[in-house]
Amino acid sequence: MPKRPATDAPMTAARAAAMAVLLSFATGALASSAVYKWVDASGITHLSSDKPPAGIKYERVVLASTQRSSTSRATSHPAGVRVATVSPAQTARRAETIDALRTRECVVALESIDRLARGGQAVDPAEFSRLQQTADQNCSKDPAVRREQEDMAARLRVSKGDACVDARNKLADMLEPGRRPTREQLKTQQEFIESHCTAPVR
């Protein structure tokens, strides 16, 4: 059976749209905000609250605030525009969503930097610089949080490595029609994948 490659599939349009809907739902107290969407050289779609590095073509998705204060209740709005008060819970969810996006960008960038550094092949300086800028913009400055992000990047690297690719292929082979693995074999293989090969970010 041919082995399945360890490459990351690009984010589908449906996933990107779902992320945009989630971000718009979680819009909080800022007067206005924006999320930047772009596709990198590997075909991976990125969503971030920070602009991508210079030279990267991107799409700006504006998230207008839905909050209004008591002093602005009488302010007129264009016909058809619905303005609603944002609760603290919605503001908190928006902050959590942005933090999750920044963490994802940080972890993916750190893993890519490490993979390029260990690859033993010539590295495009512009690509390396872009990844470093992404890490600088999105990784936490708090040492404890940064260590957690680096640990996540290490787990991501392992999950994309040959051992995990082989483990997932072996499990798929076990589940092929006509194969009769024991329940214990399936359990052992699944537990290995869950323990070592589950990516911390998608």
pLDDT tens profile 137-160? 999 999 999 999 999 999 999 998
Furthest C-alpha separation in the chain: 71
Angle among Cα 24, 27, 29 to the nearest 5 degrees reads: 160
List, for the chain, all residue ranges whose pLDDT scores fall below the cut of 70: 1-34, 62-84
Using CB atoms within 10 Å of the CB of residue 148, give its burial: 0 to 12 exposed, 13 to 18 middle, 19+ buried.
middle
Please list the residues that pair with 60 across neighbouring strands: 36
pLDDT tens profile 80-90? 555 557 788 88
| Nearest residue to 49 via CA among 111, 94, 109, 108 | 94
Name the residue ranges covered by the structural domains of the chain: 13-72+79-160
Q: Phi, psi (5° rounding) for residue 96?
A: -65, -40
pTM of the predicted model over 0.75:
no
Half-sphere exposure of 10 (CA within 13 A, CB side): 11
Please list the residues that pair with 61 across neighbouring strands: 35
Per-chain mean pLDDT for the chain: 77
In the chain the first and final C-alpha atoms are separated, in Å, by: 26
